[in-house]
Amino acid sequence: MLYLVALAALALAYVIHSVRTYNSLKQFGGHWSAGWSRLWLLRTQGSGEMHKRFAALNRKHGSTARIGPKFLITSDPELFKRMNAVRSPFTRGPWYSALKLHPERDNITSHVDERIHADLRTRMAPGYSGKENLHLENDVDEKLLQLFELISSKYVARPDEGVYRTMDLSRVTSFFTLDVISKIAFGQTFGFLDNDNDPFGYLANLEQFLPAIIVFGVYTELTNILKIPLLKSALPKSTDKRGLGRVMGFARERVQERFGPKPLARRDMLASFIARGLSQAELESETLTQITAGSDSTASALRITLHHLSTSPAILDRLLTELESAIAAGAISRPVIKDAEARTLPYLQACIKEGLRIHPPVSGLMAKRVPDGGATIAVDGVPKFAPGGTQVGWNSWGMMHDAEVFGADCEVFRPERWLAREGAEAEKERERVRRMTETVGLNFGYGRFGCLGRGVATMELNKGVAETLLRFTLQPCRLARPFNEKVIGFTVHTEMDFVVTGRETAEEKARVAKARREMCVDAGALPGSFES
């Protein structure tokens, strides 16, 4: 009898707790089950199309909506900035604990303690800036030229010679960004481009690992079970021969080279971190985070931008005209454009911003915790109260596809939206473009949670987009389904197959035009009979 009474009391306590939890956020709209259970959130994040489902939820239920018993999601840029601001009372939520990639140590991404996170940011920021990494831009150029050499030697089709080949753009862009981040961080690459392959089986392993991060992000209490010896032994280890563990081993080896009896001396990110007191153990964890976070998102942005440009002839022609005109005017360095030069080209910058907007590279929730006293959140102008402890994630896709910010055609890839419209009131145009620019910049975070690697990622995009399209024509193999896509925090693309052909450079066109004019003169024709 006592047993039944105790059971009934527990059941009653559970019901009361569930009702209170439901009522605490009932003023926020959302899926009917989200107030009672986290299963809808788990299914949504594991669907492979979480970005679209969250965007649909915010469109239906308001700019901030419910996705779990104590969980909201927002597509409101102002709330995002408010939560991330330097002096904001919002803090990192338990969601971040799922980003602990190293089995034994937290990293700058997974630390929930604000003081530790802020201290790490202060010490790591100079290494990302380029001021202390004297090889940074040269390293990016070196890897970019190696990528082009690979494409030219192995993937360029020559239809006139009966040579037909295809290239998976998703693979080669991942190889490029992985080798870039390892080169600028350690001075030594993984060798993805050297092998035109994944020598560690890393990419396949990461695709398997990301769904686990989703589960731990929803049920954060499960992270505690990883401390159980049996489960801990199953996690990736630096002694593994393949996958994420092998990458951990590579990072560990590079770190150990800096602490041995004859430490390697090189001015790079690792040297900057060491100079600011990061321990060997901290570095092993941080470098692993650099590799994963610093490569996947940039590769995703690069390939999706190249895809949209290559399938938009009018846009591509306008971009190439800008680039070739700049080359002719001596405003672009050869063989690779400088980052500073790329930033001065308005249409190139418009294309890159539009690529980041049309398909934001990071879709993880990045959930912040409402301060203990609670907070009032405006939902489409209506104030609503969220109690302390509530987590608020961001909906990157919904934010970047907001018609109020980006226009009624926000589902269309149109770089011209970033250029001031002729005949429009100048002040209004400046404000329109400023608001869009500030919103798309949120892809890199904001305030005290801004992305340290933004400068490096932007450099790779500036150079990669411009130089790839100057050298090659990319034609998708399948227009109906140009690639497979799975969005699980990062975007995983596969079978992004293109036919690649060489493109004449501006210099080559000039040489051909000159030769043709000379041929016309020799043949007695009028100069200029042929147009270049």
- Helix 313-328 / helix 454-471 crossing angle, nearest 10 deg: 90
CB 390 within 8 Å of CB 25: yes
**Nearest CA to 432 among 408, 406, 412, 410?**
406
Adjacent-strand bridge partners of 499: 475
Residue 520 identity:
C
Q: Which helix (H) or strand (E) holds 502?
A: strand 497-502
Q: For strand 71-74 and strand 91-92, is the pairing parallel, antiparallel, or unpaired? A: unpaired
- Whether the CB-CB separation of 213 and 236 falls below 8 Å is answered with no
DSSP type of residue 156: B
Residue 521 near residue 490 (C-beta atoms within 8 A): no
Spatial separation of the C-alpha atoms in residues 224 and 226, rounded to whole Å: 5
451 is in an annotated binding site: yes
Say which residues have a Cβ less than 8 Å from residue 428's Cβ, sequence separation at least 6: none
Residue at token pair 């934010």: 399
Whether the CB-CB separation of 400 and 406 falls below 8 Å is answered with: yes
Given a contact cutoff of 8 angstroms between Cβ atoms, the answer to whether 68 and 218 are in contact is yes
Q: Does residue 469 contact residue 462 with C-beta atoms inside 8 Å? A: no
Give all strands of the β-sheet with 391-394 in edge-to-edge order: 64-68, 71-74, 391-394, 368-369, 91-92
Which residues fall in the annotated binding site? 451
Which residues fall in the annotated binding site for heme? 451
